Amino acid sequence: MMLQRIPLSLGILSLAVLTACSEPGNDAAGAQDRSAEAPAAGEVPATPRREFRIPPEGFEAVPERGAELFATHCATCHGDGALGSDQGPPLIHRIYEPSHHSDLAFYRAVALGVHQHHWEFGDMPPVAGVSGEDAAHIIAWIRREQRAAGIE
């Protein structure tokens, strides 16, 4: 008898349904001022990546590979070692601990981009050229760095 497994469609569904970071209490600043100031540096037209697929459960992510991919695709904004830059926030930060930003939030960020909500750096555009597997490697590395910094 054959076992049917459908982790991929599940992943796509969750990507479509969940909204990032919608827990109440995040928006203490509530009514954010939308007055038209100069557009944030790094604003890029955002095209959601419909071809993006979260890898199936059991995919073996390699933190070392993630470190390289991060340096290539994310460090411009999130800084060396994910410690932040003048273009984007640090990801080795309590805000991004697993209980507040699950792995799904990371997949979402890569595939769909992120609207500015925690910081003042502007929006994060979807990141082209990073597959679901690549993102899994990156997440494995970030989680390792977070643990090393006492963020779990």
Report the C-alpha gap between 87 and 62 in whole angstroms: 27
CB of 130 to ligand HEC, least distance (A): 5
Which residue's CB is nearer to ligand HEC, number 13 or number 44? 44
Tell whether residue 127 is a contact of ligand HEC (CB under 6 A). yes
Amino acid at 109: A
Among 49, 53, 73, 143, binds ligand HEC (CB under 6 A): 73
Tell whether residue 117 is a contact of ligand HEC (CB under 6 A). yes
Residue with token string 């979807």: 126
Tell whether residue 55 is a contact of ligand HEC (CB under 6 A). no
Which residue's CB is nearer to ligand HEC, number 50 or number 100? 100
Report the C-alpha gap between 63 and 104 in whole angstroms: 17
Give the sign of the dihedral formed by CA 76, CA 82, CA 86, CA 87: positive
Report the C-alpha gap between 114 and 122 in whole angstroms: 9
| Among 144, 128, 31, 34, residue whose Cα is nearest residue 91 | 144
Tell whether residue 122 is a contact of ligand HEC (CB under 6 A). yes
Report the C-alpha gap between 131 and 139 in whole angstroms: 12
Which residue's CB is nearer to ligand HEC, number 52 or number 106? 106
CB of 16 to ligand HEC, least distance (A): 15
Could you list the residues that contact ligand HEC (CB under 6 A)?
20-21, 42, 73-74, 76-78, 87-89, 101, 105-106, 109-110, 114, 116-119, 121-122, 124-125, 127, 130, 138
